[in-house]
Homo-oligomer: A and B are copies of this chain.
Amino acid sequence: MSAPKLIAVDWGTTRLRAWLVDADGGVLARAGADEGIMAVPPGGFPAALRRQVGPWLGAHPGLPVAMAGMVGSRNGWVEAPYVECPTTVAGIAAKLARVDLGDGVEGLIVPGLAARDSSGAPDVMRGEETKLAGCDVTDGAVVMPGTHAKWARVGDGEIRGFSTFMTGDFYAALTEHTILGKLAEEPEDEAGFLRGVQASRRPGGLTHQAFSARTLVLMGEMPGAQVKPYVSGLLIGGEVAQGLAMSDDKGGVTVVADGPLGRFYELALAEHGRECRLLAPEDVFVRGLLRILDAA
Contact = CB atoms under 8 A, between A and B. Distances in A.
Interface of A: 114, 117-119, 121-124, 147-148, 163-167, 169-170, 172-174, 176-179, 199, 202-212, 215-216, 218-219, 221, 235, 238-239, 241-242, 245-246
A122 B203 contact: no
Given A199-B121, A202-B119, A208 B245 contact: no
Contact of A117 (B117, B178, B204, B245): B204
Contacts of A147: 179
9 contacts: A122-B212, A122-B216, A124-B218, A164-B215, A165-B207, A166-B211, A170-B178, A204-B246, A205-B206
B204 A242 contact: yes
A122 B215 contact: yes
A238 B238 CA distance: 15
A122 B173 contact: no
A275 B218 CA distance: 35
A124 to B, nearest CB: 6
Contact of A211 (B164, B176, B203): B164
Contacts of A177: 172-173, 176-177
Contacts of A164: 208, 211, 215
B203 A206 contact: no
Given A163-B204, A205-B242, A235-B207, A212 B173 contact: no
A245 B203 CA distance: 9
Nearest to A238: B205
A246 to B, nearest CB: 6
A208 B162 CA distance: 11
A216 to B, nearest CB: 6
A12 to B, nearest CB: 13
A203 B148 CA distance: 17
A170 B231 CA distance: 13
B121 A215 contact: yes
Query: Chain B CB within 10 Å — which of A170, A172, A208, A215 has the most?
Result: A208
Contact of A170 (B176, B202, B207, B238): B207
A228 to B, nearest CB: 15
Contact of A216 (B121, B204, B210, B238): B121
A118 to B, nearest CB: 6
